[in-house]
Amino acid sequence: MFLNTLHRFWASLALLTALALVAPAANADAGTVDDTASIKSSILGQNVKYTLYLPPDYGRSTRAYPVLYMMHGGDDGRYNDWFVQDNLGALLDRLINAGEIPAMIVITPDGLRNPENKYATYFMNDADGKFQWETMFIQEFIPAMQKRYRILDDKRFRAMGGLSMGGFASLMYAFKYPELFSAAAVMSAAVRTDEQITQMDPAGYERRYGHAWGEGLTGEQRLNLQYHQKNVLDLVKHTPVTELRKTRYYLDVGTNDPFFLGNVLLHLEFNKLGIAHQFQARPGAHNYDFWVPGSEPLLRFVGLTFQERNVQ
């Protein structure tokens, strides 16, 4: 009996030791997510919040990492949606730990002008110049992130991603700043046709675009200079092909999405211009039932871009 008791004691001790060793290893393999960070913007005159994802080995290394800026959607979209509604942190952990994508930093900035969110920014500057979110992002936010975190200061390792309003912004930035971003990977990008803009109800137009393109505009008035300088379907036609080819593009849209036509037209324009890109239309609508399963292939596309591997 004494031998049996002793055997059980040593077996229990071995099990407890094994569990103690396993628990820290599991924690060490998880990245960190912080949605309490912010920067003070002198351009906007207010703080800009963001969610930060640091990869599992960030605290144990001294090296620098690629960065992916992920832009959130409009209406009731918030800067931490990617990690709350999409659970992007767990997905990044799994793919990074499996060696299926390179370790990267992911940052999701707050695109709202204020908590009330009565008028969307679409991550653009206002037409009257009073609220310049785009200028803030390019001139203040990206440089601030480079200083705060160990981020590779090289366009090859900086990418944009987004859904809906954030997808629109990611494409707009890629077209306007091809020297800054290696990839623009988007889901359900809010790309509207001229007809959809001119026929939009007044309240819907004011809420979405009134500040960026001009308030109180109706019908064809909305298709003004501000519109043409920021609208994705215009930018792709007027940006030199040599500049467009400096970025890799990923478009994913649902067949029942209200932005399906706009995304298809962008895809066709890319084909017409000979711009290499990845386009897919999946069954689905404009919601997280579509976006959650689409996040993994989007991250894989970005990862291959950072590794400068074929993503077509």
Higher pLDDT, 167 or 16: 167
Residue 312 within a domain: no
Residues 214 and 101 in one domain: yes
Report the chain's mean pLDDT, rounded to a whole number: 91
Residues 75 and 3 in one domain: no
How does pLDDT run across 70-98, given as a tens digit for each residue? Answer: 999 998 899 999 999 999 999 999 999 99
Higher pLDDT, 220 or 21: 220
Confidence band (pLDDT; 50, 70, 90) for 312?
low
Whole-number pLDDT of residue 283 = 98
Confidence band (pLDDT; 50, 70, 90) for 9?
very low
DSSP-derived secondary structure for 8-77:
HHHHHHHHHHHHHHHHHHHHHTS-EEEEEEEEEETTTTEEEEEEEEE-TTGGG----B-EEEEE--STT-
How does pLDDT run across 221-249, given as a tens digit for each residue? Answer: 999 999 999 999 999 999 999 999 999 99
Whole-number pLDDT of residue 213 = 94
Checking 58-64 for CB contacts under 8 A at 24+ apart, the result is: 58/31, 58/32, 58/103, 58/105, 58/150, 59/32, 60/28, 62/150, 63/150, 64/150, 64/151, 64/152, 64/153
Whole-number pLDDT of residue 16 = 39
Whole-number pLDDT of residue 308 = 86
Residues 283 and 159 in one domain: yes
- pLDDT higher than 70, residue 25: no
Compute the distance between CA of residue 243 and CA of residue 240 in angstroms, rounded to an integer.
5
Residue 311 within a domain: no
Residues 297 and 267 in one domain: yes
Whole-number pLDDT of residue 59 = 95
- CATH code, domain with 148: 3.40.50.1820
User: How many structural domains does the chain have?
Assistant: 2
Higher pLDDT, 125 or 26: 125
Residues 10 and 74 in one domain: no
- pLDDT higher than 70, residue 26: no
Residues 45 and 96 in one domain: yes
Compute the distance between CA of residue 128 and CA of residue 109 in angstroms, rounded to an integer.
23
How does pLDDT run across 248-268, given as a tens digit for each residue? Answer: 999 999 999 999 999 999 999
Residues 93 and 26 in one domain: no
Confidence band (pLDDT; 50, 70, 90) for 6?
very low
Residues 160 and 38 in one domain: yes
- pLDDT higher than 80, residue 8: no
Whole-number pLDDT of residue 258 = 97
Amino acid residing at 186: V
Residues 248 and 204 in one domain: yes
Confidence band (pLDDT; 50, 70, 90) for 151?
very high
Residues 71 and 143 in one domain: yes
Residues 22 and 139 in one domain: no
- pLDDT higher than 90, residue 35: yes
pTM above 0.75, yes or no: yes
Domain extent, residue 18, equals 1-30
**67 pairs with which residues across the strands?**
105, 158
Residue 171 within a domain: yes
Of 3-7, 51-55, 101-105, 175-179, the range with the lowest mean pLDDT is 3-7
- pLDDT higher than 60, residue 11: no
Mean pLDDT of 281-299: 97
Residues 64 and 170 in one domain: yes
Residue 167 within a domain: yes
- pLDDT higher than 90, residue 23: no
Confidence band (pLDDT; 50, 70, 90) for 20?
very low
